Structure formats: C-alpha cells, structure tokens
Copies of this chain bind each other. A is one copy, B any other.
Amino acid sequence: MSHEMTQLKAKLAELSDWNAINSLLGWDQSSVMPVGGGEGRGRQMALMSKLTHEKMTDPEIGHLLEKLQKQAEQWDPDSIDSAIVRVTAKDYADATRVPTEFVGKMTEHINTSYMAWAQARPANDFKKVVPFLEKTVEMSRQYAGFFPQGAHVMDSLIDMHDSGMNVATLRPLFKSLREGLIPMVDAISKKQQIDDSCLAGPFPIDQQLTYARTIAEQVGYDFNRGRLDTAPHPFEIRLHHGDIRITTRARENDLGDCIFSVIHECGHAMYEQGVAFELEGTPLANGTSSGVHESQSRLWENQIGRSRTFWQHNYPSLQAAFPTQLKDVSLETFYRAINKVQRSLIRTDADEVTYNLHVIIRFELELGLLEGSLNVRDLAEVWHDKYTSDLGITPKDDKDGVLQDVHWYAGIVGGSFQGYTIGNVMSAQIFEAAQQKDASITPAIAQGNYQPLLGWLQKNLYSTGRRYDAPTTLKRVTGQDLSVEPYFRYLKAKYSELYGI
C-alpha cells in the first residue's frame, strides 16, 4: 500500500469513529434521552457536526486524494482501494461544494420553516407555510446547483440518496408502476374487504416487544452487535460494525405495527451488519443507497414477514404469546388481516399495494416544483386532485393532505421520497433472484430457516457495502437492471389469491 493510502485510511478510520459518536448522540436523542436532555444535546450535536465537517473537509484529504487518483489509474478498478478512493473523492467533493454561508442560511431557514409547519399542521393552515415552502424550493434549486449537473435539476438531489439513479430512469419506471397499480387497487376495492379486527387487541406492549425480539433473532439480527428499543419513529442506526441498533414502536391496539416495524428495521440492520469487516473504518462501510437499503427492509418485512409461509411457521408461537386475544383467530384470518389493502390518506400507514402511489404523487409534485411548472400556492389543490385520481380518495383537509409529511418543511425539496419505491421494486427483484440462484433458500424458508437467504444476501449484497453504486449493485446481485416486472409478479400472485382479483 502506498504511503498516501496508509495516511488516507488512518484519517478515514478516525472520521468513522467521530461519525460513530455522532450516531450515538442521535440514537440516544431519538430513543432514550430524557426530555430535559434536549437543549444540551442540541449544543453537543452542533459541536460534533462542526468537528466532523472539519475532519471530512480536511484539505490534507484533498491533497492525498489528488495523488491517489493518479495512482489508482494503475490499480484494479474493482479493488477495495479503488473504491475507497472513488467514494472518498465523491464524499469529499460533496462536503466541500456547498459554501458554509449557504449552509448557515439554509439551516436557519429550515428551522423557521419547521416551526411554521409544526404550528400549521394541527391548525390545518397550508397558507401559513406557503412563503416558507416557496423559499425552500428556491433554495433547493440553488443547493442542487452546487453539484455536478445532470439532465434534470433534481438529478443531483436524487444522486445524493440513490447514487446512479436519475429522473430519466425513474420517470418511466414510476409511470409503469402507476399504470399497473391503479387498476389493481381499483379491482381490490370492488371486492369484499378483509376484516382485520383481530389485530386490535389490546395486546400489552411489553409482551409485544418480547415476542418481536424472538422474531428479530429468528430472521437473523445479531443482538451481540445491536439492541432493540422503542422510539416514536422506528429507525436503524449504525455506530460501527459491532454496534448497529434498531428501534420500534408498539401500540396496544395494533399488533402489526410493532412486529412489522421490527422486521423492517431488522432488514436495514442485517444489511449493515453484513457489510464486510474489511471495509470497516472506510466510507464503504455502509449501505450503498436509500433504495437498496429500503429494498432490504421491505424484503424482510413484506416478502418474508407478511408471507403465509412465515406465519405457518410462527403463528403457533404468536398464539401462545397472546392466548386470550388470538385463541379464536385462525392462521388464515391473521394472514389476511396483516395483508389488508385499503385506500388511505396517510403514506406511513399505507399497505404494500397502495404505498407506492403515495410516493409517486410526491415524486411528481417535486419535479413540478423544481421545474417551476407547479407553484407552491397551488400545491394543496393539486395534491387533492392527484389523491382523487390516483388513490381514489380525497383528503378532507390539508392536515392529512399536503401537510402530512415533515420532509419538505424540514429539509430540501427533492430526493428523499423516491428511495422508498425503488426499495419496494428492488425487494421483489432481489428476492426472486436469490430464490432462482440458490435452490436451498425456498425449502429452508418453508422450515422457518432464514439462514440460507440471509447468507446469500450477505455474500452477494450486504458484504459489498458502498463499493458499487445502486444500479451496479443491483446488476451484480440480480444480473438485471431495475425492473418492475418481479414486483408486479409478486403483487399479482399474492393479491389475486387474497382478494380473488
């Protein structure tokens, strides 16, 4: 290894330890910190952000990269060191592109905008946030302008979360998804609705958490390198290879919420736990994109966790955990309940068939806002129209309409929604590929053994971390480009049987 590479790796290893401290501050704040801790935590996180930004933009890294990019021309482009230089160069460039002054102005604006939204949402007062959102859209365009320009203004914003993806590839993909999903939801809505009252309990929280923990162990989340806590919004967070934590939410009257949140976060966490140890201490030691990350949470939550096979194996233990509540509920009733499809207004509560329609609406609105073809002041009305036409349901107000998601009011507009749907689409593609390429996976799953699947995913997907961007990673794993076909095959097989469509 060259002297410069040794130096770079030492700096990256230190940076990754500082990032781990940052992650701990965030984990603690979002899960266990007492309310009184908030003010101090704000100061602590500001100090740490400043420090990690200084470390990340250390000019010495820039000098090392210049030399290393020359050296790397002689290296195997598929080697880990090549990937380290490539990814570090991108991260370094991204971190140094946005002028500090702009970051300050944007942070200030976002704080004000968030406070306005926090008041406007309960008051159902979209007008109140219009001037803030107008400024956010303007600043989002400026922000995008600091990065290398793609064909579309939103391309650089998408690339931050889903590197290698852009508007040109996503627009037709989302169009065909939309065209396939709308008639499917229509057909389901004409059928007899599923009764999911068996999930309403009440189920004591502690018992739900105890049960969910056994499920997490069963799918393969390693508790020696993680822990499970409760938090208002479930999340997964990586400190480093040995410490990758998850949180869940539990409600007495909704058994599915806790169980599927846990499996979902396990999917994210098992991806991170599976990153090859040799990448530790480098920027490659992370999932490669929002979409690929979400593909793993969705694969485990939906393809595995909401399958009949999964509950054929696990329903007896669930009944044993909740004997009074579930004694008269059959496996079939439970299986149908956890897969109920229903037109609804709130994205985060949506089932796996309607969910993508929520995301596609947001994606299209973001395009319009950033292109300038849609004015913020018309946004609420267009939102209503799109929900009526695409989801067949009209919001009664803006609170459960355009004001429902925090994203646009607490960050830039563009780039943060598409990953959810990319993930859903990829989840089916990757699961199909896994089953085709390793014949031991399907029979093992039927026995409640997820090790062959997890092992295959670790070897073919998780271990490579950020070595490859999202499209390359997908191609390496499945041999294909992103395609909606496996996802439709999955949805059609499952829901034609469930709803007789």
Contact = CB atoms under 8 A, between A and B. Distances in A.
Interface string A35-63: 11111110110011000000000000000
Contacts of A17: 40, 43-44, 47
Interface stretch (A89-97, A234-242, A321-329): A234-242
Nearest to A47: B17
Contacts of A226: 34, 36
A32 interface: yes
A18 interface: yes
Contacts of A225: 34-37
Contacts of A20: 40, 44
A127 interface: no
A231 interface: no
Interface stretch (A21-29, A158-166, A194-202, A415-423): A21-29
30 contacts: A14-B47, A17-B40, A18-B47, A20-B40, A20-B44, A21-B21, A21-B44, A24-B25, A24-B28, A24-B44, A32-B227, A33-B243, A34-B223, A34-B224, A34-B227, A34-B242, A34-B245, A35-B224, A35-B225, A36-B224, A36-B225, A36-B226, A37-B239, A37-B242, A37-B243, A40-B241, A40-B242, A40-B243, A41-B243, A206-B206
A232 B389 CA distance: 59
Nearest to A245: B34
A222 B35 CA distance: 11
A436 to B, nearest CB: 33
A23 to B, nearest CB: 10
Contacts of A18: 47
**Assembly stoichiometry (copies):** 2
Nearest to A223: B34
Nearest to A225: B36
Contacts of A223: 34
Contacts of A32: 32, 227
Contacts of A227: 32, 34
A25 B21 contact: yes
Contacts of A239: 37, 40
Contacts of A241: 36, 40
A63 B408 CA distance: 48
Nearest to A243: B37
Nearest to A280: B40
Nearest to A273: B36
Across the A-B interface, the 3 shortest Cβ-Cβ residue pairs: A36-B242, A36-B225, A37-B243
Given A17-B47, A20-B40, A37-B240, 11 more contacts: A20-B44, A21-B47, A21-B48, A24-B24, A24-B25, A32-B32, A33-B243, A34-B227, A34-B243, A37-B243, A40-B243
A20 B47 CA distance: 11
Contacts of A44: 17, 20-21, 24
Interface centre among A41, A223, A227 (most CB of B within 10 A): A41
Contacts of A14: 47
Contacts of A41: 243
A490 to B, nearest CB: 34
A40 B242 CA distance: 7
Contacts of A39: 242
Nearest to A33: B243
Contacts of A25: 21, 24
A33 to B, nearest CB: 7
A129 to B, nearest CB: 30
Contacts of A38: 242
Nearest to A48: B21
A59 B243 CA distance: 37
A227 B37 CA distance: 10
A406 B47 CA distance: 35
A243 B240 CA distance: 25
A40 B240 contact: yes
A33 B21 CA distance: 13
A47 B38 CA distance: 24
A224 B39 CA distance: 13
A358 to B, nearest CB: 35
A208 to B, nearest CB: 15
A243 B47 contact: no
A242 B36 CA distance: 4
A39 B245 CA distance: 16
A240 B47 CA distance: 15
A224 B36 CA distance: 6
A39 to B, nearest CB: 6
A56 to B, nearest CB: 15
